[in-house]
Structure 1
Amino acid sequence: MKILVCTDGSKESLRAVEKACKIAEGCNVNEVSVISVDEGKLDLPIGAWSDVDHPTKEDVERFLKAREEAKEVGKKNLLEAEKMFEEKNIKVNTILKQGSPAEVISEFAEVEGFDLIIMGRRGITGMKKLFLGSVSNAVLQQATTSVLIVK
């Protein structure tokens, strides 16, 4: 069995990591991977430019700094999850991707042949959905892999 665990550093995603640890301890799990997806774009968003036609050097530098900060947050989230698995003596792979989280998670799980996606009900976004967060709901709709949503 191959398990893919999603993290964004939120309390909900850390509960998903805890649940994945319990499942990996009690089942015949061949592989556990933790993924963090940064939804930032690789190109400069037009709205970020001081001058719509010509971004300034400062615009580009500000954008690149924000991209690097987002990457560091993703690495920190993965390290935190990795430590939780290591405390249980469970080997884990970490993956940092960029793009639309639901699409990246769903596609990655299918292409890599994961049997189960484990994720929190809601992430770090400020908006609270009535039942599910937008990413967890989208993964439920898009993924061909089984999905476990952790409260």
Structure 2
Amino acid sequence: MSVTYKNILVAYDGSEQSQLAFEQAKMLATLNDSEITVLQVVPSVNYFLYLPDTYIYSDLAARQKEIMSYAQDQMNANFVYNDTDKINVIVQEGSPKRTIVEYAEKKKFDLIVMGATGVHGINKLVVGSTTSFVVNQAPCQVLVVK
């Protein structure tokens, strides 16, 4: 049985395991002549707390825009080098686990590649909550890299 992945999504959070996931995706993309999309999800201010429309919230929202811009610049610097027509870089705001699943469903990816744990991984031997959620909710196959 031969499986071909033409559209691969890499969930990236800057962790060592997400970098390994990207390297694995590059290998699969080379074998399958695939396109890779690297997705970084920046948790929104509302992901951590709820504040009414106050000065504090407005200031946090402005900071959020700065963080999103910085994340996009860093992603472009890290991933847009050669083969730029085969690597897309996306930064979105929201709940990481839900955004990964929703984006994969919306764009009809064949495969999601992600690390077993991310930057908040407490124990490198245990699958993180985001990874566990994606594995159980994804509309496609998921490759977990350790």
Asked whether the equivalents of residues 116 and 145 of structure 2 are also in contact (C-alpha less than 8 Å), the reply is yes
Asked whether the equivalents of residues 7 and 109 of structure 2 are also in contact (C-alpha less than 8 Å), the reply is yes
Larger Rg: 1
Asked whether the equivalents of residues 5 and 33 of structure 1 are also in contact (C-alpha less than 8 Å), the reply is yes
Task: Name the CA distance, whole Å, in 2 between partners of 1:139 and 1:43.
Answer: 18
User: Which residue, out of 25, 28, 42, partners 1:23?
Assistant: 28
Asked whether the equivalents of residues 114 and 145 of structure 2 are also in contact (C-alpha less than 8 Å), the reply is yes
Q: Deviations over 1:5-43 (max 9, x none)?
A: 1111111101111111111112231x2111011121359
2:9 corresponds to which residue? 4
User: Which residue, out of 99, 120, 124, partners 1:125?
Assistant: 120
Task: Name the CA distance, whole Å, in 1 between partners of 2:141 and 2:28.
Answer: 14
Task: Name the CA distance, whole Å, in 1 between partners of 2:53 and 2:82.
Answer: 50
Task: Indicate yes or no: 2:62 matched with 1:71.
Answer: no
Structure having greater relative contact order (Cα 8 Å, sep ≥ 6): 1
Do the aligned partners of residues 40 and 128 (structure 1) sit closer, same or farther apart at CA in structure 2, a change above 3 Å counting? Answer: farther
Give RMSD over aligned pairs: 2.7
Q: What SS does the corresponding residue of 1:3 show, helix, strand or coil?
A: strand
2:91 corresponds to which residue? 96
Deviation (angstroms), 1:130:
5.2
Identity percentage of aligned residues:
31
2:144 corresponds to which residue? 149
Q: Deviations over 1:104-133 (max 9, x none)?
A: 111111121110000111111163375201
**What are the ranges of 5 or more consecutive residues in structure 1 without an aligned counterpart?**
none
Do the aligned partners of residues 54 and 65 (structure 1) sit closer, same or farther apart at CA in structure 2, a change above 3 Å counting? Answer: closer
Deviation (angstroms), 1:54:
7.5
Task: Name the CA distance, whole Å, in 2 between partners of 1:92 and 1:40.
Answer: 25
Q: How many residues align?
A: 141
TM-score, normalised by the number of residues in structure 1: 0.78
1:2 partner amino acid: N
Do the aligned partners of residues 19 and 102 (structure 1) sit closer, same or farther apart at CA in structure 2, a change above 3 Å counting? Answer: same
